[in-house]
Every structure is written in C-alpha cells, then in structure tokens.
Amino acid sequence: MRKLLVAVMSVLAFGISTGTAAGSPLPFPEIFATNNTATITDPDDPRLRDRLVRFDHEVRGIVLANGGATAGSTLLDGVFWSGDRQQLTFERSRKFDVTLNEQSLRHAAGTVAKRFRQESVLTFRFLPASSPAVDAVQVEVPGVTAQQVRQGLLNDAVARETLGGGSITLQDKAILIADVDDLPVVRAFVTGIGGDMGKAKVRRGTWEFVSASAETALWSKRNAA
C-alpha cells in the first residue's frame, strides 16, 4: 500500500512539474516496448492477439524500481517495414506513460530491452515546441486502422523507408513517430491512407532507441561511484 501511495504521489507531482512556460503540463514521457522476439509476417497470427498482461505488470515493476510510476498503459498493434527482409512485420506491444526523468527513463528502457531480449526500446519525451532539444514528432490520428497503415506502407516507398512503420491502438488511433524534419512525410502518408490530419494531434519532443547496453553502462557507472 505504501508503494502504491508513493507511486500515486509521484504521478501528481510529475504532472505539476512538467508544465510549459504558459503553465499547461506536458504529457508524460513514454516507453514503447514489447516482449516479442519472433519475426511475425502474417497479420492473422494468433500471437498478435496477446494482451501482454504479464508483460504490463513486469514493465510497471521496472518503472517503479527506477523511482517512477506508470500513469497509463496502452495495448498497440505494430506494423513495421523490414528493409533487410523487404517485407512487413507485425507485433503486439504496449505504450507506457511514466513519471521518470531523462536518466531514469533511459535506464528503465535499457532494463526492459535487456530483460526481454530486445535490440532496443523506443522512448519519447514531450518538449515545448520551441525547445532546442526537439528532434522528433509524434502524430496521433484517430479513425485509422492497422489495415490502412499496412496497405499504406506497401504503397508508399518513401513512408516505408522514412517512417519504418507505426502503432495502432485497439480503438483505431494511429501513433506515428518520426524525425521532426520528416513531418511532411507523415502528413502525406496520413492523407494518403485516408486519415484526417485536421483531427490529428501533433506534438514535438525527443526520441531515443535505447539498447540493453545503456542499462549496463549506467549500472557500472553507479557502482563505480
């Protein structure tokens, strides 16, 4: 109960302290992760129906161990383009909204990558649009299905190579993350698959693909101190 209370207080405190200059709070940092290590090429593969409940609990524990709390967890269907194999691949994953600072976010993501044998885990930190640290953009588009994203990637070679893929919630909301300079490509892709950019939510921030080595390096640094 004490851990739960501390976690809830952390969420409230983090929400207050991450406001922009205008006073409105920024969304929580995010971790995009999966426990999948297989290459799935069939969109009807039964493994894509896994709700990742145990994985959800385990990642929440990792976040808590790093001094944060999980403010939300969203189940996602991922559609990705493999340039090496020249084919689409699919996986179930989760997006975790967490109360972690930059260093703890990287350490938690590295721990997830190591524990679940992932090459890397994606993190996204929201920043004020005017921040010089902005290097990425996240675009959320309601009313877009996994099938639309899948077909769009097959039809659009530029988006395929630039975006690499995207994630879709079970409520048919696409989440696309890209380099900030590639926002025009995202807009063209969304329009091309029948999405409405007028209803899209566009936010700026910074992204990082964190490998297991990041967790190991930080552990070594702490123990050397």
**Which residues, 6 or more positions from 214, have their beta carbon under 8 angstroms from its beta carbon?**
106, 107, 109, 110, 113
pLDDT, position 31: 98
* b/e burial code for range 139-174 (CB count within 10 A of at least 16 → b): bbbeebbbebbbbbbeebeebbebbbbbbbbeeebb
Mean pLDDT, rounded, of the chain = 88
Answer whether 58's CB lies under 8 Å from 115's CB. Answer: yes
pLDDT band of 215, cuts 50, 70, 90: low
76-85, 144-153, 171-180: least confident range: 76-85
Among left, alpha and beta (phi > 0; psi -120 to 50; other), residue 143 is: left
44-58, 60-74, 158-172, 202-216: least confident range: 202-216
Answer whether 98's CB lies under 8 Å from 73's CB. Answer: no
For 134-148, the pLDDT digits (tens) are: 999 999 999 999 999
pLDDT band of 84, cuts 50, 70, 90: confident
